[in-house]
Structure 1
Amino acid sequence: MMKRNIGYALLLLAFLCSCKKTAHSEVKPGDDKTPAKANSFRIVGYLREYNVEDGRAAEVDLTRVTHLNIAFLNPDANGAFKAYPGLKEVSATAHGKDVKVLASIGGGLAPEYYTTLIADKSTRAKLVSSLALLTDTYNLDGIDVDLEGHFVDGNYEVFVTELKAALKPKSKLLTTAIATVYATQYTDKALAQFDFINIMSYDKTGPWKPEKPGQHSPYAMAVDDLDYWGGNRGIAKEKLSLGLPFYGYGFGKGVPEDMAFADILKTYPGSIDKDEVTVAEGGTMYYNGMPTIKSKTTLALQKAGGVMVWQLLQDGTGSNSLLNTIVAEVKAANK
């Protein structure tokens, strides 16, 4: 192309890209390697609900995250929610730091009656109404759906579609935590309901698989997960958050089944830059050390719109903080 036509060509390209995004923004190739800008890059952190009640939520440095997911707020068998002491205060504090707060429902040990709640039209409607009311009661910014395994059934799509319809008029977010192991259970329509998607890129193995010792969250898993959801499933990279574990799993003698990263550092000196520690008794603790978290953050800057952390209170402090490492990488990418 002739040099004098470059400006026109760039304007035309920008217009075409804009039109394409408007027409089909939720599904497009996710293999663009242009780093995300720091001011739009999400850092989603999960915090246990009981840490809201016991006051430990105050230990979280909210200046280091963009979204705070409170896990897990689950209803009773009738779809009604209990009161959550301290949640309004946490929400207000977070909003003062420009952090959005969401209630996360479900979890790895979600109540079995979720299958019944979302299957029946009337009970599903009550659950959706209760969730919408929950966001109003505690001034929350949305709902995060973490239903896994058999809970992602034939009723999942209609549930999240109806929930989206209830939240959208309130300008509330709807997000999800998904695992690639259940990939075929998520329909494209269901995935299109979410404002963004947190990929649980961990728990490849664990204490439930004692016969398969090893790293539960290897770097290669992060690459494969982003390639699948961004490439195979065509989800825009801006909608994807790469999940990072702040904990480890132990296999064999002399190590506990699971440990927070903070406890790993205290128990095994010199472990911060490693991904595994083998003890004298023969057992091994597997986790993500600082270099791996740094590398995964760089990967997410290239192929996603953010990262997600499970969970914030398992982190080290100061120069030993994985969260600080994430923030530093994001800032460096924006220089």
Structure 2
Amino acid sequence: MKKICLLLLAVAALVISSPEFAKAQSKKKYIVNAYVGGFRGLVKTEEIDADKLTHINYAFVNVKDSLATLTNLATDSINFRKLNALKLINPDLKIVISIGGWAWSENFSDAVLTETSRQKFAKSSVDIIRQYNLDGVDIDWEYPAMRGEEGNIYRPEDKHNFTLMFKALRDELNMLEKEKGRKFLLTTAVGGSKSFVENTEMGDAQQYLDYILIMTYDYGGKNGTVGHHTNLYDYGVEEGSSADRSVKNFMAAGVPANKIGLGAAFYGKGWEAETIKNNGLGEKRIKAVQGGGYTKLKDTLIDQNGYKKYYDKKARAPYLFNESTRTLITYEDEKSIKDKCKYVKKNKLAGIFFWEYFSDPKEYLLTEISKDLD
């Protein structure tokens, strides 16, 4: 068995080094960036379709005492090894650590408060890249100079320190590039709200960044009403939240289109509406209800179990409504993904990214992205 495995590895190495393979695996025109939740434990990398991706962002690395910290060294180290092994399938695939996220952003403000703390944070971040032979750093600070999760530390100084953090990280990555002789990535996941733009210096920060991944999801309706959570365009009579509006706000702040990644949600969000008027859209929210990943929605809820599918042509967004329970589920489907991919091409954006890979294990949405962003 050992000899067979060695033979297979030798054959794989020969195939990968061949000019034909290199031509077939030439870099994609657009990024297709998947967030993978390593915080849950061991990642089932054998279920990841590496050929359809350009980047995997490993979520999440924590921030403690001004250091980027792996919270579960045993599983994280195994996950890094297994994710790197996917490069046997797709040599162009980049594995990037994502630091922060909703639950682990409380210490960012302290970590980047002074030049000394920023250097300490940047060095510890890049040390993880160096140790595990990874390809870059992604910052998911939710949110600078604004309240995110209850208990998060935030201060007005975050606005400028956010920029200085990226400079410190870029400086460390530049040193690693000289050491290793290859390129390393620096990216960030950013909130889609106008307030995020107002509380940062994105026009200055972007010079240090390869990609700005705008989280064009989790919108919801205004003033506690039921609304779409990952719609491409505005809907209703008032100015609202949409992917298009978020992109335009970031571009107006000085972010080049070719650095912007458009966000797609591989999960749905559910709300109980006060009334059945307009299928719940725009009605007062009573409470949140379970949405679920797209595979689950498609296989068990769309036009099943009391849920009827609707499509908002103005928003370019699907939703389900159960009249008997007054439950609306807002989500992404193949049609909305297709529209987002067209938007990426039309506006010359960098590509698309999504949260989270295993929310759609049957790859309904990833297959659509792969087909549309070839």
- Give 1:41's aligned residue: 30
- For residue 113 of structure 2, the aligned residue among 75, 96, 119 is 119
Q: Residue type matched to 1:256 in 2?
A: V
62-71 vs 167-176, which moves further: 167-176
- For residue 183 of structure 1, the aligned residue among 193, 197, 203 is 197
**DSSP 3-state at the match of 2:80:** helix
Map 1:1-335; keep pairs closer than 5 Å.
39-51=28-40, 53-79=41-67, 81-82=69-70, 83=73, 84-96=76-88, 97=90, 98-149=92-143, 150=146, 152-169=158-175, 170=177, 171-181=183-193, 182-187=196-201, 188-205=203-220, 211-220=224-233, 221-230=242-251, 232-252=252-272, 256-270=289-303, 275-279=318-322, 280-303=324-347, 304-317=349-362, 321-331=364-374
86-95 vs 178-187, which moves further: 86-95
| Unaligned 5+ runs, structure 1 | 1-36
**DSSP 3-state at the match of 2:61:** coil
Taking structure 2 as the reference length, what is the TM-score of the superposition?
0.71
Q: How much does 1:164 deviate?
A: 0.7
Q: How much does 1:216 deviate?
A: 0.9
Is the strand fraction higher in 1 or 2?
2
Q: How much does 1:194 deviate?
A: 0.5
- Cα 1:44–1:263, aligned 2, differ >3 Å: closer, same or farther? same
Q: How much does 1:89 deviate?
A: 1.6
Q: How much does 1:224 deviate?
A: 1.7
1:66 and 1:180 map into 2 onto residues whose CA distance is: 23
Q: Contact 1:43–1:67 (CA<8 Å) still a contact in 2?
A: yes
- Cα 1:125–1:234, aligned 2, differ >3 Å: closer, same or farther? closer
Taking structure 1 as the reference length, what is the TM-score of the superposition?
0.79
**DSSP 3-state at the match of 2:134:** coil
Post-superposition Cα deviations, 1:289-312, rounded to whole Å, max 9, x if no partner, equal 211111111111121120011111
264-273 vs 301-310, which moves further: 264-273
Post-superposition Cα deviations, 1:71-117, rounded to whole Å, max 9, x if no partner, equal 11113335152322313323322322121010001112224222111
Post-superposition Cα deviations, 1:231-259, rounded to whole Å, max 9, x if no partner, equal x1343222111011111110117983331
1:54 and 1:186 map into 2 onto residues whose CA distance is: 35
Q: Contact 2:34–2:56 (CA<8 Å) still a contact in 1?
A: yes
Q: How much does 1:212 deviate?
A: 1.7
79-88 vs 100-109, which moves further: 79-88
1:78 and 1:178 map into 2 onto residues whose CA distance is: 21
- Cα 1:283–1:89, aligned 2, differ >3 Å: closer, same or farther? same
Q: Residue type matched to 1:76 in 2?
A: K
Is the helix fraction higher in 1 or 2?
1
1:80 and 1:218 map into 2 onto residues whose CA distance is: 33
**DSSP 3-state at the match of 2:247:** helix
Task: Give aligned-pair identity as a percent.
Answer: 23
2:226 and 2:110 map into 1 onto residues whose CA distance is: 36
Q: How much does 1:316 deviate?
A: 4.8
- Cα 1:176–1:80, aligned 2, differ >3 Å: closer, same or farther? closer
- Cα 1:204–1:277, aligned 2, differ >3 Å: closer, same or farther? same
1:69 and 1:272 map into 2 onto residues whose CA distance is: 32
Indicate the structure whose relative CO is greater, using CA pairs within 8 Å and at least 6 residues apart: 1
- Cα 1:255–1:290, aligned 2, differ >3 Å: closer, same or farther? farther
| Unaligned 5+ runs, structure 2 | 1-25, 147-153, 178-182, 234-241, 274-286, 312-317
Q: Contact 1:246–1:260 (CA<8 Å) still a contact in 2?
A: yes
CA RMSD of aligned residues (A): 2.4
- Give 1:22's aligned residue: none
Q: How much does 1:38 deviate?
A: 8.4
**DSSP 3-state at the match of 1:204:** coil
**DSSP 3-state at the match of 2:106:** coil
- Cα 1:72–1:80, aligned 2, differ >3 Å: closer, same or farther? closer
**DSSP 3-state at the match of 2:225:** coil
Aligned length: 289
1:316 and 1:94 map into 2 onto residues whose CA distance is: 17
